Amino acid sequence: MAAHSQRDAYLFKKVISIGTVCELTGLSERQIRYYEKRKLVFPERSEKGNRKYSFSDVETLMDIANKMEDGMQTAELRKELQNAQTKRYDNKLRERMIRGQLNAYFNKRD
């Protein structure tokens, strides 16, 4: 699992400028800033205050844009994103607990 996390770490590095995100997604800067204002995406800021996005953010923005085109409201999207984040956290916690139980079991047998 650790190798998988290291391999995919680039997905979460905030290195992409808003202009590049616009080119990748077809969204305008205004749309992207609106999604940020509605707390749907969370870019980091450079020392000069420029927004920086990750590839994961780009995927999220594309998903948001598609769902908004289908008529979903930003409040619904925010709730959906929060639920997904909670589910990921719960899965990680469950995985750590199982790993700990397995380690305890096999270490006790030695």
Q: What pLDDT digit, counting tens, does each position of 47-86 carry?
A: 999 999 999 999 999 999 999 999 999 899 989 888 887 8
Structural domain that includes position 101: 2-109
pLDDT bucket at 17, cuts 50 / 70 / 90: very high
pLDDT bucket at 90, cuts 50 / 70 / 90: confident
pLDDT bucket at 7, cuts 50 / 70 / 90: low
**To which residue do tokens 């920086």 refer?**
52
Report pTM: 0.69
**To which residue do tokens 């999207």 refer?**
77
Biggest CA–CA distance in the chain, Å, is: 61
C-beta neighbour count of 44 within 10 angstroms: 13
Helices assigned H by DSSP within 26-73: 29-37, 55-69
Over range 19-23, report the average pLDDT.
97
The CATH number of residue 92's host domain is: 1.10.1660.10
More confident residue, 18 or 8: 18
